[in-house]
Amino acid sequence: MHIKNILNNLKKDDNQAYLLTQFTNIDYISNYRPTSFAFCIIKENPIIYASEMDMEIAKRDSAIEVKKYEKFETMIGELKSEGVKNLAIEPSLVYSTYEKFKDDFKIESKNYIEKERMIKSSSEIENIEKATEIAQTAFKQLDITNRKETEDVLAFDLVRLMIENGASKESFDTILVSGSNTSLPHAVPEHKQLETPILIDWGAKYNGYCSDNTRTIVYKEKEHEIFDIVKESHDKAIKAIKPGLKCCEIDKVSRDIIKEYGYEDKFIHSTGHSLGLDIHETPGFSFKDETIIEKGMVITVEPGIYLEAEFGVRLEDTVAIENKSRIIGDLAPML
């Protein structure tokens, strides 16, 4: 179905083929995840040119034809022999690869694959749900009350627990930080004992699909005050989500709550992002994203307030869009 949809888009735009090199895009189309490099060309008879190192797994896993990559001239010659003149490319294609094709084809950057990946199938959502279950189970098993332990060791323990519970790996570098470092949205765990508050942003990968949650454990009065504001923003944004609205409208709901309390300039990122085979996909809940929300999308909601050199609070859940939004997982906002 995905290939059929892309072929229809190619025809509408008078393109004869679509070049993919991003590993997750190739995986999405073919069920084969490259380990070295590969060129997937979507056309009437789609084909993947895989490296010799990957030929065994490519032939085993790919749902479309696989050939061993020899050289660019071979690929270009075969495309030209099939009458390909207009070649669409994914926007992420590296410039050095673009240079190899630009003299032989009229090239257009197209996001056909990103649009396909916006809407998750029931099996994709099941994989995200399982990844979330694994990650949340691991979190519940983590001894976060052990204040004598260091951030980096606890982060390592959380990754280990996710793998023990069935994850293939973490879905991104685990953030487990405390004290003033929580005011840095992408802080790195340090070799220091836990302070307050404690912020954990973590996720598991299962069957190729990602999960993503954030929890902030607060102790002091000011931390609780900020947490309550963030939670209100989080909850009202999730409640507002429904098909037909624009993504930017949900960002506004979340941001307006924080603005009411005077912390507008302390919410320094978008409200959320889609996820799937990649941890960051499109669309997202940001002020500039006017994508219409549709059933089947899976998007995070993660407002935060960051007080420079003091502390930060972020609360994140992943939601599946149905007739309204449904939070994936069962982890309470505050433990």
Terminal CA-CA length for the chain: 43
Residue at 316 is within a domain: yes
Are residues 262 and 293 located together in one domain of the fold?
Answer: yes
What's the chain's Rg over C-alpha atoms?
Answer: 22
Are residues 216 and 257 located together in one domain of the fold?
Answer: yes
Identify the CATH number of the domain in which residue 226 sits: 3.90.230.10
* Domain limit, last residue, from 86, 102, 117: 117
Alpha-carbon gap, residue 148 to 120, rounded angstroms: 42
- As a whole number, mean pLDDT of residues 245-272 equals 98
Long-range contacts of 323-328 (CB under 8 A, 24+ apart): 323/242, 323/243, 323/295, 324/241, 324/242, 325/238, 325/239, 325/241, 325/242, 327/238, 328/128, 328/129, 328/132, 328/211, 328/298
Residue at 240 is within a domain: yes
pLDDT for res 210? 98
Question: 227 pairs with which residues across the strands?
Answer: none
Are residues 103 and 169 located together in one domain of the fold?
Answer: no
- As a whole number, mean pLDDT of residues 164-181 equals 98
State which amino acid sits at residue 96: S
Identify the CATH number of the domain in which residue 101 sits: 3.40.350.10
Q: With a cut of 90, say whether residue 148 has pLDDT above it.
A: no
Are residues 86 and 147 located together in one domain of the fold?
Answer: no
CB atoms within 10 A of CB 188: 14
Q: With a cut of 70, say whether residue 116 has pLDDT above it.
A: yes
CA angle 31, 33, 35 (to 5 degrees): 160
Are residues 77 and 108 located together in one domain of the fold?
Answer: yes
Residue at 182 is within a domain: yes
Are residues 39 and 177 located together in one domain of the fold?
Answer: no
Residue at 107 is within a domain: yes
DSSP H helical ranges for the chain: 2-12, 23-30, 55-61, 72-81, 95-101, 112-118, 122-141, 151-164, 221-240, 247-260
Residue at 239 is within a domain: yes
Residue at 332 is within a domain: no
Q: With a cut of 80, say whether residue 208 has pLDDT above it.
A: yes
pLDDT for res 144? 85
Are residues 126 and 111 located together in one domain of the fold?
Answer: no
Residue at 335 is within a domain: no
Four-residue CA torsion sign, 281, 18, 292, 251: positive
Percentage of the chain beyond pLDDT 90 is 96
- Tens of pLDDT, residues 75-109: 999 999 999 999 999 999 999 999 999 999 999 99
Are residues 96 and 170 located together in one domain of the fold?
Answer: no
Q: With a cut of 50, say whether residue 248 has pLDDT above it.
A: yes
Alpha-carbon gap, residue 112 to 22, rounded angstroms: 13
Are residues 149 and 268 located together in one domain of the fold?
Answer: yes
* Closest by CA position to 128, among listed 270, 322, 318, 290: 318
* Domain limit, last residue, from 54, 82, 117: 117
Q: With a cut of 80, say whether residue 146 has pLDDT above it.
A: no
CB 83 within 8 A of CB 42: no
Are residues 233 and 291 located together in one domain of the fold?
Answer: yes
Domain region containing 90: 2-117
Are residues 83 and 152 located together in one domain of the fold?
Answer: no
Are residues 249 and 127 located together in one domain of the fold?
Answer: yes
Total structural domains within the chain:
2
Residue at 334 is within a domain: no
* Domain limit, last residue, from 61, 94, 117: 117
